[in-house]
Amino acid sequence: MSDHDDKAGGEDRRGFLKCMAWAGTGALWTLGGGVASSISLDQAIAKPAAAQGFTFLQVSDSHVGFAKPANPDAKATYQEAIHKIVAMPQKPDFIIHTGDITQLSKDQEFDDAEQIIKQTGLPVFHVPGEHDMLDEGAGKAYLNRFGKGTKGAGWYSFDHKGVHFVALINVVNLKAGGMGSLGADQLAWLKDDLAGRPSSQPIVVFAHIPLWTVYADWGWGTDDAAQALALLKRFGSVTVLNGHIHQITQKVEGNIAFHTARSTAFPQPVAGQGPAPGPLKVPTEQLHSMLGITTATFVRGGQPIALTDSTLAS
């Protein structure tokens, strides 16, 4: 069994190197497992111009409308986060928002959130969180505003400078006793969407609830994520960006790097610490150091993707 695993790992590594040569956008952490010498091998290979360097941002869990002890004004902290983006000397190409845009899916909350992020003047790609599904139409308010051109419950994909981005929805049709769910229709769409793409193309997948099980007792995972990950396994560089848990966690599995972002609204406890995954009240002076955004940088020419988290206090 372990022999087989080792062998499989070796094949994956070779596949990964090919990707590095082609696009230069592999995950840094994938190289953390004692294959540093592979970098020089990679650097010896001439790199064709494919994916170009660029930066994009991830914001998450803005919960506009939230006004409870853990943060009396989540709209204001979202505005602060967006101000930081506006002030950046080098503009990112676009922003992704990984859900829980609003607290209760109210029109006013969606309006406020949209007006705030519009100040960046940048393209924004949304996915909904479970808090964005609370209108009478169970998600219609979100789809009417942000779902133009999407499929099913709002999933879509796009390409940017050689990188393929996939936006998945895992907050609808949830089942009793379960966690997040992608559903058969979306998985079938994903299979078609990825079919025919070269394994060397870098992939970024984003969704609200983590696509790996961070903590099942609190529902911090997606029941059928394994089926999506199986479709992604052949790609040399896959980055999975999620929100929902309001804190940074990361993990590497083969060529897939998982990362969750901070919220701009309120922190939540570390998995299993405390009675529930609800808002964590911290001393007021600490709040800003527990809220933040994530910067993703693709550098051309053999450098791996870099994810940098910054707080509202910094």
Instruction: By CB under 8 A, name the binding residues for other proteins.
Output: 68-70, 103-105, 130-131, 133-134, 174-179, 216-219, 275-279
Nearer to other proteins, 1 or 176 (CB): 176
In the block, residue with structure tokens 């029941």: 223
Order the strands of the 163-167 sheet from edge to edge. Answer: 156-160, 163-167, 203-206, 238-242, 256-260, 249-253
For residue 309, the minimal CB distance to other proteins (Å) is 24
Q: How far is the CB of 150 from other proteins (least distance, A)?
A: 21
Tell me the closest approach of the beta carbon of residue 176 to other proteins, in angstroms.
4
Q: Which is nearer to other proteins, 141 or 305 (CB)?
A: 141
For residue 306, list its beta bridge partners. 297
If the CB atoms of residues 112 and 130 are measured against other proteins, the closer one turns out to be 130
CB of 276 to other proteins, least distance (A): 4
- 26 vs 277, beta carbon nearer other proteins: 277
Q: Which is nearer to other proteins, 147 or 180 (CB)?
A: 180
Of the pair 44, 176, the CB lying nearest other proteins is at 176
Q: Residue 191 CB, nearest distance to other proteins (Å)?
A: 25
CB of 118 to other proteins, least distance (A): 26
CB of 235 to other proteins, least distance (A): 30
Q: Least distance to other proteins from the beta carbon of 215, Å?
A: 10
- Closest to other proteins by CB, 148 vs 175, is 175
- Cβ atoms of residues 202 and 163 within 8 Å: yes
Q: Which is nearer to other proteins, 226 or 276 (CB)?
A: 276
